[in-house]
Structure 1
Amino acid sequence: MALEDDIAFFEQVPTFAALGRQALQVLAIGAEARHLQSGSVLFYAGELADAAYLVQEGSLLLEPGTFTEREEHVAGPGALIGELALLTDTVAPATAIAREPTTVVRVPRNLFRKTLEGYPAAAQRLRDLLAARVDTWTQDLDKVRRALKKET
């Protein structure tokens, strides 16, 4: 893929789109594509996570780990997996298995952090995006709390 195509692909993901084209250029140059055969495991639940993965082609089955109660989930093109690993130490909550020949783009945490350091405006836009998400989650949880309170 040409660099402009890579940047356009990153721009389709809200977390990355918030950074702006200059920062995305750095990420697109530093990220690495990984090609997986059907049935290959990208990572296992419980492993330390030091990168996020953006599904470019194909799909991954995400099987929950023993410490989670979530159902299986399929992540297809454009899905960002492991977003939290871009910002902090964490473990994978699921095992990711290629359902078919699949290409993912690996974005290492150290590359992401260096990009944010080099582009403070991008870091601010990301902070604003994440703050808005937390606000939405808080409002949603408050609705659930009120609904549960009515039931008792």
Structure 2
Amino acid sequence: MALNDDIALLSLVPLFAGIDDDKLRLIAFGAERRRLNRGQQLFREGAPADCAYAVANGSFTLTRGQVDGSTEVIDTVGRGTLLSELAMISFVERKFTATAEEDSEVIRINRPLFRRMLEEYPEVAVVVETRIKTNLQMMISNMQKLARKFR
């Protein structure tokens, strides 16, 4: 794919929405493309995460293992979805397993590349920080709603 295609894809990712093409070019230029066949796992739950993946083509089923050994389907995601965004800024474990539902392609964004963008464009760091905080606040709010069910 062309560099401009990767920039267009990154602009679809909510975390990067509104960031101009010149800044996204740095990520697109340094990112790696990876193709997966239907049924192939992109990553497994519990594995250390050193990067995020933007879905370029195809779709992925996200699953999580249960205590009884069964597997729960969390979601199915497609083009423009960013998987494991926190891995671009911190050491975390994968929270689910991502499996290609069809022949698919992703862009791998590693932590050093993402940090370089934040260092070179401090104004982007402010935007990204705000979006990540918002995402975390929504997640905490959802968890608090669930906690009420277990009281």
Instruction: Structure 1: give runs of 5+ residues left out of the alignment.
Output: none
* Partner in structure 1 of residue 10 of structure 2: 10
* 8 Å contact from structure 1 (residues 37, 98) kept in 2: yes
Q: 1:140 to 1:64 in 2, by over 3 A?
A: closer
* Partner in structure 2 of residue 109 of structure 1: 111
CA distance in 2, matches of 1:90, 1:62: 17
CA distance in 2, matches of 1:134, 1:43: 22
* Partner in structure 2 of residue 92 of structure 1: 94
* 8 Å contact from structure 2 (residues 65, 72) kept in 1: no
Equivalent AA in structure 1 for residue 12 of structure 2 = Q
* Partner in structure 2 of residue 46 of structure 1: 46
TM-score (norm 2): 0.82
User: 1:74-127, CA deviations, whole angstroms, 9 ceiling, x for partnerless residues?
Assistant: 111111111111111000111111111110111111110111111111111112
* Partner in structure 1 of residue 130 of structure 2: 128
CA distance in 1, matches of 2:36, 2:52: 16
Paired residue total: 147
1:138-149 matched pairs, under 5 angstroms:
144=145
Equivalent AA in structure 2 for residue 58 of structure 1 = G
Equivalent AA in structure 1 for residue 4 of structure 2 = E
Q: 1:93 to 1:25 in 2, by over 3 A?
A: same
Cα root mean square deviation, aligned: 2.7
Which structure dedicates a bigger proportion of its chain to strand? Answer: 2
Q: Secondary structure at the match of 1:117?
A: helix
Q: Secondary structure at the match of 1:104?
A: strand
Instruction: Structure 2: give runs of 5+ residues left out of the alignment.
Output: none
Q: 1:94 to 1:138 in 2, by over 3 A?
A: closer
* 8 Å contact from structure 2 (residues 45, 97) kept in 1: yes
